[in-house]
Chain A
Amino acid sequence: MGEAVSDFNQQALSLTQARQAGGVYQAINQLGASAFETMPFPTRKTESWKYTSLHALTQQNYNQSPKAVLLDGIDAQYEVSGLEVVNLVFVNGQFQAALSSNETLAGLQLVRFSEATSEQLALIEKHLGKLAETERNLFTALNNAQVNDGVFVFVDKNTQLAKPIQITNISIKDEQPATAFNRCLIVLDTHAQATVIEQFVSSDTEQNVVMNQVTEAVIGDGAHLQHYRLNKEHESSIHFGGMYVDLSRDSQFTSYQILLGSKIKRFDVLVNHNVSGSHCEMKGVYLPKNEQQVDIHSYIEHKAPNCTTNEVYRGIMADKSKAVFNGRIHIHPDAQKTLAELSNKNLLLSDKAQINTKPELEIYADDVRCAHGATVAQLNETAKFYLQSRGISAQEADIMLSFGFINELLESIPLEALRVSLRPLLAEQFSSDKSLTQHLIADEAEA
């Protein structure tokens, strides 16, 4: 193991050297690389990686750049029917102009770093890597060390974007194992409002490209970012994701995370309440099955008074899957009148499935209202009997109850077309037999 580990670190560093572009990236690349060099490869003894094995990552040399992309090999579904969006598509980290829309929206600057004007580059340089703290996560450090392109979203002040922006990252099997790096920087000026959907899909075959994606969002005074992170990559994929958010006065961050697929999936989210009056609403669903591992770390930093956080995560673990939920809300001494709630509920469908949940509250202010809690349960037998006593089969009852467990979060999604499209996607996580999921899917249309 020791040898494989040092191999990984050395290979990663030589990859980042090959990708470094200088210019506006020089500082962030250097900081990332030096942070990465000092961080050992995570083992079971590394606290923040205690329950997730990265063994699969050391089995091949993933620290190579993806080769040219064969577009006709793409069979991934990524369009949401009935949802009009400005669509940007990347395949194995490479931008696909032919699959992307070049539509412009009033008040929106949407550009890749490599195409940015000098004015835009100045903004990119100002913000890039400032939130994505390298010391928190090895793979964010790696992303910082090599970043040389990405998507820049800037919304002018007082603008409400007419359509959501949808950034789709598609993975396909490459000629050799590789890592696809993606980066996104979102800046909302004062009182701007935007919806950004970031989704991760892959072709329906064995994958050999690791996805490493980092998003930073700077939300100005009174601005509101509604953000979706939809992970639906193939079961064989490996995914490292990070989302880092700064909230200003009276601003809002609403986040929906649907975390499916991948044999190893790690997602870190950090939200800073920097100025009074900001609100963070975070809803997450994870449904690992078979031998999938999902590892979620959330950090909410209340640094200013009168801010609120409502964080709700629900997970259902099936088969031999493993999940980690580590949620920390940190109330700094100045954060008086904070209202913060964190709830994590879990359902275990198999006695071989595992959840390690650790909700944490750290409070250094005396006038706050905070609550946190986690539960782990199995399906409610009385509810199951009730459904069966009405003629519903045991199998369908299990699926209805499991779906019901996450349905509350699903129903809170404001984008209707997306919500409707997620129902069948989530339903099929519980069974591929459509006769068992038909009532879940029909529901939305009727009610």
Chain B
Amino acid sequence: MCKENEFKIVGTGIARKWLNRMLSIKNLHASVEEKEILKGLNIEIKPGEIHAIMGPNGAGKSTLGNVLSGREGYEVTAGDVNFDGKNILDMDTEERAREGLFLAFQYPVEIPGVSNLEFLKASVDAVRAHRGEEPMDSVSFLKLAREKCKAVNLDQNFLKRGVNEGFSGGEKKRNEIMQMMLLEPKLCILDETDSGLDIDALQVVAEGVNSQRDPNRSFIVVTHYQRLLDYIIPDYVHVLADGKIVKSGGKELALELEEKGYGWIENGAV
């Protein structure tokens, strides 16, 4: 507690400097198993903005989410990442999450034996404790979790089942969105959330995301296809190729990409 207060006093200047930035990535280089995947990535995201990151397979799209979440095995070799006024690169995965960074997984993990409810409560308690809030009592939490289930059209039985255990692809993604709703993060990274979803599931997921749009919450929507961006309308579209942002634009860039393919950008960039 004491430590945090100290930080706030010392950090006032920094906070002001970054006041209008949710996320600032500068010259980010990252390697997996000594192979460089991100090769000098830059991006600036303001509160309330939705940024789409598109790109061909192997460009480093999923690596970005993993690096930002601090996953083991993803080594940052150069660059800075500033999230809401704080350098997060030295933080553990759980600290980043408690600070308000949320990664919706492309392939959410099945964890048999750990109930969804137990998992959600542990997660929400951890984040609340970090914010200096009391843990919710079990009854209120169950009520809240049931509400969120309803909001993403998941049956309440899912709370009792193992985390993602035996869930269909769509149910897994809806579970991700439900977690996002419960944790109320500042920055959400949706890693190819549209992969493996049919149109109906895609709409439910997109509605969930749109319901969470907020002037103080930002989104990074990582996707291979333009389709998702029909439902989640981005403010900016970036093209990631060979570990760098090679082109940025408005939402119309996504349509152009859909039409011309990634080859157009890659060839143009080189």
Contacts and interface: CB of A to CB of B under 8 A. Distances in A.
Interface string A43-80: 00000000000000000000000000000000000000
Interface string B134-146: 0000100110000
Interface in A342-400: 380-383, 385-394, 396-397, 400
A391 B120 CA distance: 10
Contacts of A393: 94, 126
Nearest to B114: A404
Given A385-B71, A392-B122, A442-B118, A404 B112 contact: yes
Contact of A383 (B97, B103, B109, B117): B109
Nearest to B139: A446
A439 interface: yes
Nearest to B129: A391
Q: Give the residue among B92, B94, B108 with the most A Cβ atoms within 10 A.
A: B94
Contact of A442 (B114, B121, B123, B160): B121
A391 B118 contact: no
Interface residues of B, number: 37
B127 A405 contact: no
B37 to A, nearest CB: 17
A442 B135 CA distance: 13
Given A386-B108, A442-B121, A407 B113 contact: yes
B183 interface: yes
A440 interface: yes
A386 B118 contact: no
Contacts of B138: 442, 445-446
Interface string B159-176: 110110000000000000
Contact of A389 (B97, B113, B163): B97
A106 interface: no
Interface string B96-114: 0110001101001101111
A400 B72 contact: no
Contacts of A400: 114, 118-119, 122
Contacts of B122: 387, 390, 392, 396, 400, 439
A403 B118 CA distance: 12
Contact of B183 (A385, A390, A394): A390
A47 to B, nearest CB: 34
A382 B106 CA distance: 13
A390 B97 contact: yes
Contacts of A394: 92, 94
Contacts of B212: none
A98 interface: no
A408 B110 CA distance: 14
A29 to B, nearest CB: 46
Nearest to A385: B71
Interface of A is mostly: helix
A388 B118 contact: no
Nearest to A407: B113
Q: Give the residue among A383, A387, A407 with the most B Cβ atoms within 10 A.
A: A387
Nearest to B122: A439
B115 interface: yes
A406 interface: yes
Interface of B is mostly: helix
Contacts of A391: 94, 97-98, 123, 126-127, 130, 183
Contact of B160 (A382, A445, A447): A447
A401 interface: yes
Q: Give the residue among A380, A386, A403, A407 with the most B Cβ atoms within 10 A.
A: A386
Contacts of A440: 118
B160 A404 contact: no
A385 B113 contact: no
A447 B109 CA distance: 21
Chain A interface residue bracket vs B = 20 to 34
A386 B109 contact: yes
A103 interface: no
Q: Give the residue among B71, B113, B138 with the most A Cβ atoms within 10 A.
A: B113
A447 B159 CA distance: 8
B121 A447 contact: no
B69 interface: yes
Contacts of B179: 390
Contacts of B82: none
B118 A390 contact: no
Contact of B118 (A382, A385, A443): A443
A389 B127 contact: no
A408 B162 CA distance: 10
A388 B69 CA distance: 9
A404 B164 CA distance: 13
Q: Give the residue among A381, A382, A397, A447 with the most B Cβ atoms within 10 A.
A: A447
A408 B123 contact: no
B235 to A, nearest CB: 25
B146 to A, nearest CB: 11
B36 interface: no
A392 B142 CA distance: 19
Contact of A405 (B105, B113, B141, B142): B113
A351 to B, nearest CB: 17
B114 A385 contact: no
Contact of A392 (B94, B108, B160): B94
B125 interface: yes
Interface string B71-86: 1100000000000000
A386 B105 contact: yes
Nearest to A406: B113
B111 A401 contact: yes
B121 A404 contact: no
Given A385-B71, A386-B105, A392 B126 contact: yes
Nearest to A386: B109
Contacts of B118: 400, 439-440, 442-443, 447
B111 A404 contact: yes
B93 interface: yes
A386 B107 CA distance: 10
Contacts of A447: 115, 117-118, 159-160
A392 B115 CA distance: 14
Given A380-B109, A388-B97, 6 more contacts: A386-B108, A386-B163, A388-B94, A394-B94, A404-B111, A439-B118
8 contacts: A388-B93, A389-B102, A391-B183, A392-B94, A394-B92, A405-B113, A439-B118, A443-B118
Pairs of residues from A and B, 8 with the lowest C-beta to C-beta distance, nearest first: A404-B113, A407-B113, A390-B123, A391-B126, A404-B114, A391-B97, A388-B93, A439-B122
